[in-house]
Amino acid sequence: MSGERTEPYLHGHYDDLFSIFSQKPGGGRADGLQGFDHQMASHVLSPSDRLHGSPMDYLLLARGFDASSSQPDDLVVGSRRSKTDPAGGSDGKTLVTPNFSTSSSSTELVGEEDSGPCKTDQRKQEEEEEEKQAEGGEEGPDEFKKANNPRRKKGEKREREPRFAFMTRSEVDHLEDGYRWRKYGQKAVKNSAYPRSYYRCTAQSCDVKKRVERSHQDPTVVITTYEGHHTHHSPGNVWGSTYSSSPSPAMPTNLHHDLLLQQEFPAGYTNPNMHLPRPPTPDYGLLQDIVTSFDHSSQR
């Protein structure tokens, strides 16, 4: 890795990124992001993910600014609201994560998925423990192994935390987002030369997970999927403590900038100012307005 990327944050990259999303079988690119490619999305949300919601659960952020957008229903930006967590897992207004290294990356919020009822793995484990104790009985080696396996029981549906997916143009796979992560797995991705890595937040009792993979269509793009909400402020949080009284949703800070920019240039993305470096700090007031309006438009 050379680390020699010289382009400023947005220099000439926004269109590149949009082109990824705007591909569709019939071609065309009506208005920037509206041709979001489901095939692309399938690399962001796994098939099993998509089973939990409508195929259009993953939508591009910018689409939300189009009030006439056909399917805003399931998209919530930043201020995450799940069906079981109407408050958004936080105070409903936090978009707080600490500094995100932006020197050679740009980020898109790709989509979000509402997985319905959520239960943390920890809680699931607890419940399984209780279940186990209730069941009692003898156990052979296999049974012992299974009983001590914290995975869910047979027939119990996989339940997921809400997810945010980001596409980030970056040379490094694992982007610094202020939280500490432990890698717990890596898998080869079908039809891709690039593996997918699995990370968990190292903080105790925090069950946020993160998947990181490179797009096989554009290897310069890193797809990061966050799952769940941090139950703590990040170790390197430079904003969270002053901005919010609640733990943050798990998402990189770049998003703030993207939100702001797209607020200013919601369609077409041809404004020459797009080539300017990003502001040093996001405007949280404006951001909050965006998120709020977005929530409203997505709730109907």
- Please give the backbone phi and psi of residue 199, each rounded to the nearest 5 degrees, phi first: -130, 150
**CA distances, 90 to each of 64, 79, 152, 194, 299 (Å):** 21, 8, 27, 34, 18
Closest CB to DNA among residues 81, 160:
160
The tokens describing 205, both together, are: 């009792």
181 binds DNA, rule: CB under 7 A:
yes
* Gap between the Cα atoms of 251 and 277, Å rounded: 21
Query: In sequence order, which residues have a C-beta less than 8 Å from that of residue 277 and are 6 or more positions away?
Result: 8, 9, 10
Closest CB to DNA among residues 83, 187:
187
181 CA to centre of own chain: 15
**Site map for DNA, 72-91, x if CB under 7 A?**
--------------------
49-52 — which CB contacts under 8 Å span 24+ positions?
49/113, 49/115, 49/160, 49/163, 50/113, 52/113, 52/114, 52/115, 52/116, 52/160
Among 38, 83, 123, 183, binds DNA (CB under 7 A): 183
Among 209, 214, 233, 257, binds DNA (CB under 7 A): 209
Size of residue set near DNA by CB under 7 A: 38
Closest CB to DNA among residues 70, 186:
186
Among 49, 108, 113, 295, binds DNA (CB under 7 A): 49
Which of 236, 234, 237, 283 is CA-nearest to residue 258? 283
51 binds DNA, rule: CB under 7 A:
yes
Tell me the window of 15-23, 60-68, 182-190, 275-283 that interacts with DNA (CB under 7 A): 182-190
Closest CB to DNA among residues 27, 155:
155
Binders of DNA among 125-164, rule CB under 7 A? 142, 145-146, 148-158
In one-letter notation, the amino acid at residue 127 is E
Query: In sequence order, which residues have a C-beta less than 8 Å from that of residue 57 and are 6 or more positions away?
Result: 45, 50, 74, 75, 111, 112, 113, 114
Among 26, 27, 47, 285, binds DNA (CB under 7 A): 47
CB of 220 to DNA, least distance (A): 20
297 binds DNA, rule: CB under 7 A:
no
Tell me the window of 28-36, 197-205, 240-248, 256-264 that interacts with DNA (CB under 7 A): 197-205
Interface ranges with DNA (CB under 7 A)? 46-49, 51, 121, 142, 145-146, 148-158, 180-190, 196-199, 202, 209, 211
